Amino acid sequence: MVDQIQEAFASLYSTSPTLFRSPGRVNLIGEHTDYNQGFVLPAAINKELYFAVALNDDERCRIHAYDLQESVDVSIASFNKSEKGWANYVLGVVDQLQKQGLEVGGFDCVFGGNIPRGAGMSSSAALECGIGTALNTLFALGLSQEAIAKLGQKAENEYVGVQCGIMDQFANVFGRNNHVIKLDCRSLAYEYFPLDIDGYKIVLLDTNVSHSLDTSEYNIRRQQCEEGVHILQQQGLDITSLRDVSPEEIGQHQSAMDPVIFMRCHYVVEENRRVEEACHFLQQHDLLSFGKKMYESHEGLSNQYEVSCPELDFLVAQTRAHEQVLGARMMGGGFGGCTINLMEESVVEPLTEQIGKAYHNAFDLQLKVYVGDIVDGTSSIP
Ligand code: GLA
């Protein structure tokens, strides 16, 4: 794949590019907690975007999306949002760099890779942080990894219009081979946990659907959580986010809250606790209990937070009869995309085939299966 990107670059431009790789991410547990200043447990995976980037002297920003065979060519001094959705992730990053007063000149870029789009593996963060890292390197901007992650998030918030949290960009930049990252989304303090899952694999089952609700519903969930915080503050709680609230505490204020708002907030505070518990189980090598937390997380996402869909629920339900699957749940924003499964290595093939058939019978859709290995975060390729 890297070779193809390099060849495409050579056919379009005459300069010699620097190469970068930028991974997708999985999240073991801690969903919709990041924008509530809570905890998440993501990792970078071996589905990646590759970039070939070189500076040019003519103040143009030329980007070619290899997989889509589409290009944009804009003046670096003045550009607007593009009609091509993918281009806004790149232009959004350039825009953020400029807003920070950093000098960005012209550059030529070809990118492409194998992170499935719309599958909840965060190809968008890979694009943002991949280009952010490339420009930081080539223009010697001196940004830290944390600054690049934040920049990617801001580009998505302001330029693309999704009010996402920091998880995806953070995992993309800070990923470490065979480790998950426990991230405190308030302080951005993080801790690596070795993912010792000998005999098990992280398996992603891709529904192959992406219900169009996702952006609007995502932003609505965020507002509902903020509304919950506001009510709890009015109730006299000294809090700034749902991160500060325990499941017990919120239970005491249920009657003051609209039932839907309560359900959303209750899910978030329970999920935060689940991340803490899951990390404890991981340290104890108690994968069985860890997996149970994943199932609980899915229940909450489906019934309380209501961001699942029939296809995701079906895939999770299919695994329940098999003790070789320790845990399964929907992953990412929801309304389609993947489930993440902790599955015994020896059954991955037969079991995913069986589930694939059942899925096809139920929805007339093709199941896609990815076995995720945990890799390092974005880097240049020597
Ligand atoms: C998307 C967002 C993340 C996070 C997840 C849900 O992937 O980009 O910031 O909120 O959804 O956990």
Question: In this structure, is residue 233 part of a structural domain?
Answer: yes
Q: In this structure, are 161 and 230 located in the same domain?
A: no
Contact by Cβ (8 Å): 52, 10: no
Question: In this structure, is residue 101 part of a structural domain?
Answer: yes
Ligand 1 environment, Cβ below 6 A: 31-32, 34-35, 122, 164-165, 167-168, 332-333
| Domain tally, the chain | 2
Average pLDDT, the chain: 96
Amino acid occupying residue 375: V
What pLDDT is stored for residue 210 in this prediction? Answer: 82
What domain range is 92 assigned to? 2-196
Q: In this structure, are 249 and 124 located in the same domain?
A: no
Cα separation, 129 vs 149, whole angstroms: 6
What pLDDT is stored for residue 38 in this prediction? Answer: 98
Quote the ligand 1 centre to 263 CA distance (angstroms): 19
Q: Residue 83: which CATH number?
A: 3.30.230.10
Q: In this structure, are 215 and 299 located in the same domain?
A: yes
Question: In this structure, is residue 248 part of a structural domain?
Answer: yes
Cα separation, 243 vs 268, whole angstroms: 8
Rounded to an integer, the average pLDDT of 139-156 is: 97
Catalytic residues: 168
Rounded to an integer, the average pLDDT of 289-297 is: 98
pLDDT at residue 8 is higher than 90 = yes
Question: In this structure, is residue 252 part of a structural domain?
Answer: yes
For 245-278, how does the pLDDT look when each residue is reduced to its tens digit (9 = 90+)? Answer: 999 999 999 999 999 999 999 999 999 999 999 9
Q: In this structure, are 245 and 363 located in the same domain?
A: yes
Q: In this structure, are 113 and 237 located in the same domain?
A: no
For 304-332, how does the pLDDT look when each residue is reduced to its tens digit (9 = 90+)? Answer: 999 999 999 999 999 999 999 999 999 99
Rounded to an integer, the average pLDDT of 183-202 is: 96
What pLDDT is stored for residue 125 in this prediction? Answer: 97
DSSP 275-331: HHHHHHHHHTT-HHHHHHHHHHHHHIIIIIS----HHHHHHHHHHTT-TTEEEEEE-
For the entire predicted model, the pTM comes to 0.96
Location of structure tokens 């869909």: 309
For 136-146, how does the pLDDT look when each residue is reduced to its tens digit (9 = 90+)? Answer: 999 999 999 99
Quote the ligand 1 centre to 252 CA distance (angstroms): 28
Please report the beta strands in the chain, taking only residues with DSSP state E, as ranges in sequence order.
18-27, 39-40, 42-55, 60-65, 70-75, 107-113, 179-184, 190-194, 200-210, 325-330, 336-344, 368-372, 379-381
Q: In this structure, are 136 and 253 located in the same domain?
A: no
Nearest atom in ligand 1 to the alpha carbon of residue 156 is 8
* Mutational test site, ligand 1, from 127, 167, 214, 339, max ligand atoms within 8 Å of CB: 167
DSSP annotation of 302: I
More confident residue, 211 or 6: 6
Residue 162: pLDDT band (50, 70, 90) is confident
Question: In this structure, is residue 64 part of a structural domain?
Answer: yes
Question: In this structure, is residue 62 part of a structural domain?
Answer: yes
What pLDDT is stored for residue 213 in this prediction? Answer: 60
Token code pair at residue 179: 């480790």
pLDDT at residue 62 is higher than 80 = yes
Question: In this structure, is residue 379 part of a structural domain?
Answer: no
Can you give the C-alpha Rg of the chain in angstroms?
Answer: 21
Q: In this structure, are 209 and 278 located in the same domain?
A: yes
Q: In this structure, are 51 and 192 located in the same domain?
A: yes
What pLDDT is stored for residue 40 in this prediction? Answer: 98
Q: In this structure, are 279 and 180 located in the same domain?
A: no
pLDDT at residue 93 is higher than 90 = yes
Q: In this structure, are 220 and 134 located in the same domain?
A: no
Residue 215: pLDDT band (50, 70, 90) is confident
Question: In this structure, is residue 378 part of a structural domain?
Answer: no
Quote the ligand 1 centre to 180 CA distance (angstroms): 16
Measured from the Cβ of residue 7, the count of other Cβ atoms closer than 10 Å reads 13
Cα separation, 193 vs 178, whole angstroms: 9
Q: In this structure, are 7 and 23 located in the same domain?
A: yes
What pLDDT is stored for residue 214 in this prediction? Answer: 65
Q: Among residues 166, 196, 226, which one ends one of the domains?
A: 196
**From edge to edge, which strands make up the β-sheet containing 368-372?**
325-330, 336-344, 200-210, 368-372
